[in-house]
């Protein structure tokens, strides 16, 4: 409100100070969290919408701090970017995931989220190259997910980097598609192989005609461009059926599976079709 009283103001001020202090505490705790194994990795499967076959797993981080409890993944990523340790965290996660995924059947993809801070890091490409070499995980089975926020400051080196990854056979997916703005231009100039339709549209499409229009348009656009489209956040059978009928390529979401710890992810490998 515009008429915030002195009291309320001080209350928010104190809250902000507490938050800032907690953030500093978490940032200081990050290096130890990595070394001591507080940061864990879970794997969320995605499936071919038409054949119902398992296509691969997306890698997601989990941090349970002994004092502060569960830290949401997007908050952890922001903290690591602030702390300047995002590349270290990203490399750790990627290496652990590649070590696990090299034991999987050879048609399964491993999909890793890469933040702006990572792409801007000089160490990103050398680290990735080393990880692929050390683990023997094939580049052609690695997918990286980037959001359009990497284009906020359009940069020739980002363009070059994405092309270089692409030429090594790495699959590049545009994450959270539709959530921000002006994504269409990026599709013209960057070598994306896949679009991940943001969960917000999937959530609303069956009760909001405008959300449905956007979902239909994105899937048609993907088909037209010859790129795959993954629908995120699929939670109901109705959403699954609708997306499949539109020709959506891949499905991900709680309906089919939550993100899983490594052993439970492995157990999915022996099953055929949707869980
Ligand atoms: P994202 O990449 O868009 O990941 C999808 C998020 O939606 C995940 O949240 C996942 O657990 C959640 N999700 C999956 N299916 C459903 C569903 O059916 N319904 C709902 N409501 N949610 C679903 P999570 O794990 O909390 O991650 C949040 C964000 O943090 C991710 O969004 C990603 O941007 C970032 N993130 C997570 N792990 C990493 C990582 O290792 N590296 C980087 N750079 N970012 C990461
Ligand atoms: Ca993602
Ligand atoms: Ca997403
Ligand atoms: Ca997201």
Determine which residue's CA is closest to atom 24 belonging to ligand 1.
Answer: 73
Q: Which helix (H) or strand (E) holds 116?
A: helix 116-120
Strand partners, 229: 195
- pLDDT band at residue 226 using 50, 70 and 90 as cut-offs: very high
Residue with tokens 């056979």: 169
E-assigned strand segments in 49-170: 54-65, 69-71, 109-113, 142-146
Closest CA to 115 of 61, 183, 46: 61
For the segment 28-42, the average pLDDT, to the nearest whole number, is 91
User: For position 28, what pLDDT does the model report?
Assistant: 87
User: For position 1, what pLDDT does the model report?
Assistant: 41
High-pLDDT (> 70) share of the chain, %: 95
Task: Name residues contacting ligand 1 (CB within 6 A).
Answer: 44, 59-61, 72-74, 77, 90, 93, 113-115, 145, 175-176, 199, 232-235, 253-254, 259
User: For position 12, what pLDDT does the model report?
Assistant: 73
Determine which residue's CA is closest to atom 15 belonging to ligand 1.
Answer: 253
For the segment 27-36, the average pLDDT, to the nearest whole number, is 88
157's tokens: 């080196």
Answer for the pair 255, 236: CB distance below 8 angstroms, yes or no. yes
Whole-number Å distance, alpha carbon 176 to ligand 4 midpoint, is 6
User: For position 237, what pLDDT does the model report?
Assistant: 98
Does residue 63 register a pLDDT over 60?
yes
The complex's ipTM works out to 0.98
Query: 115's torsion region: left (phi>0), alpha (psi -120 to 50) or beta?
Result: beta
For the segment 240-266, the average pLDDT, to the nearest whole number, is 97
Determine which residue's CA is closest to atom 29 belonging to ligand 1.
Answer: 74
**Least reliable range by pLDDT among 53-57, 97-101, 177-181:** 177-181
Strand partners, 194: 173, 228
- The DSSP secondary-structure symbol of 260 reads B
User: For position 2, what pLDDT does the model report?
Assistant: 44
Cα gap 136→134, rounded to integer Å = 6
Whole-number Å distance, alpha carbon 2 to ligand 1 midpoint, is 35
User: For position 9, what pLDDT does the model report?
Assistant: 63
The more confident residue out of 220 and 156 is 220
For the segment 203-220, the average pLDDT, to the nearest whole number, is 97
Determine which residue's CA is closest to atom 38 belonging to ligand 1.
Answer: 60
Instruction: Please provide residue 125's backbone torsions phi and psi, each rounded to the nearest 5 degrees.
Output: -65, -50
Strand partners, 142: 110
Whole-number Å distance, alpha carbon 8 to ligand 2 midpoint, is 38
User: For position 5, what pLDDT does the model report?
Assistant: 52
Does residue 68 register a pLDDT over 70?
yes
Q: Relative to the CA of 147, which ligand 1 atom is closest?
A: 34
Whole-number Å distance, alpha carbon 8 to ligand 3 midpoint, is 36
Whole-number Å distance, alpha carbon 9 to ligand 2 midpoint, is 37
User: For position 29, what pLDDT does the model report?
Assistant: 87
Cα gap 255→17, rounded to integer Å = 40
Q: What is the pLDDT of residues 108-146, one digit of tens each?
A: 999 999 999 999 999 999 999 999 999 999 999 999 999
Cα gap 27→158, rounded to integer Å = 27
Is the pTM value of this prediction over 0.90? Answer: yes
């Amino acid at each position: 409100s515009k008429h915030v009283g002195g009291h309320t103001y001080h209350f928010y001020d104190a809250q902000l100070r507490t938050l800032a202090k907690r953030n500093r505490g978490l940032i200081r705790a990050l290096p130890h969290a990595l070394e001591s194994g507080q940061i864990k990795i879970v794997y969320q499967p995605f499936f071919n919408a038409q054949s119902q076959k398992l296509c691969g797993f997306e890698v997601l981080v989990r941090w349970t701090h002994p004092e502060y409890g569960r830290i949401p993944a997007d908050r952890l990523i922001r903290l690591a970017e602030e702390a300047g340790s995002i590349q270290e965290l990203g490399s750790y996660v990627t290496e652990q995931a590649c070590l696990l995924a090299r034991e999987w059947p050879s048609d399964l993809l491993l999909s890793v989220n890469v933040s702006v801070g990572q792409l801007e890091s000089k160490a990103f490409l050398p680290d990735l190259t080393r990880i692929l070499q050390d683990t023997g995980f094939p580049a052609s089975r690695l997918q990286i997910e980037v959001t359009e926020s990497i284009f906020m400051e359009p940069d020739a080196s980002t363009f070059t980097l994405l092309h270089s990854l692409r030429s090594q056979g790495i699959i590049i997916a545009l994450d959270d598609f539709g959530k921000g703005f002006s994504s269409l231009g990026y599709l013209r100039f960057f070598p994306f192989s896949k679009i991940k339709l943001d969960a917000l549209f999937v959530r609303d499409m069956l009760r909001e005609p405008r959300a449905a229009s956007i979902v239909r348009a994105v899937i048609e656009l993907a088909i037209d461009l010859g790129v795959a489209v993954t629908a995120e956040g699929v939670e109901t059978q109705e959403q699954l059926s609708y997306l499949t009928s539109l020709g959506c390529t891949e499905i991900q979401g709680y309906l089919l599976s939550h993100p899983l710890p490594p052993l439970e992810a492995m157990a999915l490998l022996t099953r055929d079709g949707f869980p």
